[in-house]
Structure 1
Amino acid sequence: MLKCHNVVVIGASGFIAKNLRKHLSDNNIKLISISRNDFKTFKNESKIISKHCDEKNILQKIKNSDALIHLVGIGKQSVKTDFEMVNVQFTKHIVNLTNKAKIKKIIYLSGLGVSPNTSSGYFISKYKAERIIIDSGLNYTIFRPSYIVGQDDLFTKYLKKQIKNTQILIPGSGKYSIQPIHITDVVQIILQSIGDRKFNHKIIDLVGPDLITFEKYVKLFFKGTKINMKKISLEDAYHNAIINPKSDFGIDDLNILIGNFKGNHEKLRKMTKMKFQSIIELLQSSRLS
């Protein structure tokens, strides 16, 4: 049974955060949610609009909370924002804020494939963020999620946008595997992790039960439609990512997609004692498209 009642959510207006905040609110968790953009609140929730999570405006309001959930991060760099600035330095700021506010625990979403041996800029930044949290002395749970899918997730939005083009580009062979997890399972797991000691000081793969190739995922997503799939070489895909700032896939997006990263779902299932939704079944029944 969940004993804590006060939770801070940083990055409150994103896809994961919206679903998580609703789930926590429905379970009578008192929320203090923070975002740089305005957003609608749920019951038991107060909001703070702050572009940089300024300490002077936030510290007293979040003091002695039971947990802080850090959901801010970027997966694609630009001239104005880079991985070091957002994924690393901002995490350092949030960790300092968490310590000063005497918050009992920090929960962080990293990425599947993060390791000390990576050469990807995105994964390097996420690994650095993990180390900042681990070395902070705080109680923590770090999740390494695969693609988190559901209504209005970025991956699904990308695929739906291709319907207008009547053609979707498949980088490379399309035979590389992904291990998506549904948002409803994700929010239940995060709720468990807030108060359950077995999640303390753990790094956990956040992955679904199905390992599915990107090509098969796309075929199931678009079954019954007239969209065509066109495979392009990885060389062309990476070249486009470099020269076209509006490319659907950045360099690190491609690294993640073709990385063939596999997580330990069985460990997650035993830990949570949950029955997970099959993404393949959801795709077959058109409940993701």
Structure 2
Amino acid sequence: MTRNLKIVVTGASGFVGKNLRKFLAKNNIDVVSISRNNFKKLKNETKIITKNYDEKIILPKIKNASALIHLVGIGKQTVENDYSLINHEFTKKIINICKKARIKKIVFNSGLGVSKNTTLGYFISKYKAEQEIIHSELDYTIFRPSYIVGKNDLFTKYLKSQIKKGTIEIPGSGKYSIQPIFINDVSKIILKSVLEKQFKNQILDLVGPNSITYEKYVTDFSHNSGTKIKKISLESAYYNAISNPKSKFGVDDLNLLVGNFKGNYNKLEKLSKMKFQSIHEVLKSGILL
């Protein structure tokens, strides 16, 4: 089924990229992994390090690959790297690379809550990237993920750092819901989207089977750690996000957190024919700690 399959992964050194590459390696799939940052090479893997995703370096090694998984993106802007540049314009470059390399399939991680009616800069850039892919004439699968959680995702690292300090701060009421999905399930469904025809030209919410309030998530995550839970006003949280460059939450991070975005899990489950781990099982197992 996976014989003669070659998959290209951009953003290979990121959290999703690392876990996806490990999963593909376990399934004996040839992978061409591309990143701006250095990373440890796995079996059956071709490693490419290039700051500017130089076509002269990339194209000879990815020609006629089965698919390209595009994972490059940012969730927090800087003067050097803004949403439009990385999330939108860079996606245009990747589409062009696919065409030059005669790669017919692209899989893209967008964001839960992306729509043509959005007013958020992050979502606007992701929506524009989606449109570039939709109109590219490539076979595509676009995933709109909620929080993708695993042992070393950024969200989990943040909560662990708060536990070390003895207090986890919750912006606002904490009653808003999130719909996390476990990284192992994400890796499985990305491979499915390459192998199975029903994923062709689909846009799917990449969410777990259960919604959970942020307060409940934090409480269950820190269970038995003796960590205090402290609620802070949204005004304070946003002020810190705006004024403190070292803030763990950016403005758009807070917008995404309190936005109460819900995904269509039933469609995802029906199309994939997978049973996804519930976030309650994941938290109870302690696998994130």
Provide runs of 4+ in structure 1 moved above 3 Å. 1-4
5+ residue gaps, structure 1, are: none
Is 1:34 the counterpart of 2:40? The answer is no
- TM-score calculated relative to the size of structure 1: 0.97
Give the distance between the partners of 2:243 and 2:260, measured in 1 at CA: 25
**C-alpha contact 2:70 2:109 (8 A) present in aligned 1:** yes
> Which residue does the alignment assign to 1:244?
244
Give the distance between the partners of 2:286 and 2:67, measured in 1 at CA: 36
Give the distance between the partners of 2:286 and 2:66, measured in 1 at CA: 39
> Which residue does the alignment assign to 1:5?
5
Give the distance between the partners of 2:286 and 2:12, measured in 1 at CA: 28
Equivalent pairs, count: 289
> Which residue does the alignment assign to 1:124?
124
Task: State the Cα distance separating 1:207 from its structure 2 match.
Answer: 0.4
Task: State the Cα distance separating 1:264 from its structure 2 match.
Answer: 0.9
Give the distance between the partners of 1:83 and 1:147, measured in 2 at CA: 19
> Which residue does the alignment assign to 2:223?
223
**C-alpha contact 1:2 1:192 (8 A) present in aligned 2:** no
> Which residue does the alignment assign to 1:78?
78
Secondary structure of 2:73 counterpart: coil
Secondary structure of 1:9 counterpart: strand
Give the distance between the partners of 2:161 and 2:188, measured in 1 at CA: 29
- Residues 4 and 201 (structure 1 numbering): CA distance in 2 closer, same or farther, change over 3 Å? farther
Give the distance between the partners of 2:63 and 2:6, measured in 1 at CA: 10
**C-alpha contact 1:3 1:195 (8 A) present in aligned 2:** no
1:192-229: CA deviations, max 9, x gaps? 01121100101011000111000000000111122111
Give the distance between the partners of 2:120 and 2:80, measured in 1 at CA: 19
Is 1:134 the counterpart of 2:134? The answer is yes
Instruction: State the AA in 1 paired with 2:172.
Output: G
Instruction: State the AA in 2 paired with 1:243.
Output: S
- Residues 106 and 4 (structure 1 numbering): CA distance in 2 closer, same or farther, change over 3 Å? farther
> Which residue does the alignment assign to 1:288?
288
Give the distance between the partners of 2:153 and 2:211, measured in 1 at CA: 19
> Which residue does the alignment assign to 1:58?
58
**C-alpha contact 1:185 1:276 (8 A) present in aligned 2:** yes
Instruction: State the AA in 2 paired with 1:75.
Output: G
**C-alpha contact 1:7 1:68 (8 A) present in aligned 2:** yes
Secondary structure of 1:142 counterpart: strand
Instruction: State the AA in 2 paired with 1:253.
Output: D
Give the distance between the partners of 2:71 and 2:277, measured in 1 at CA: 23
- Residues 176 and 165 (structure 1 numbering): CA distance in 2 closer, same or farther, change over 3 Å? same
- Residues 24 and 186 (structure 1 numbering): CA distance in 2 closer, same or farther, change over 3 Å? same
Q: Percent identity?
A: 64
Task: State the Cα distance separating 1:263 from its structure 2 match.
Answer: 0.6
Give the distance between the partners of 1:178 and 1:271, measured in 2 at CA: 22
Instruction: State the AA in 1 paired with 2:272.
Output: T
Give the distance between the partners of 1:35 and 1:286, measured in 2 at CA: 30
Is 1:14 the counterpart of 2:20? The answer is no
**C-alpha contact 2:178 2:212 (8 A) present in aligned 1:** yes
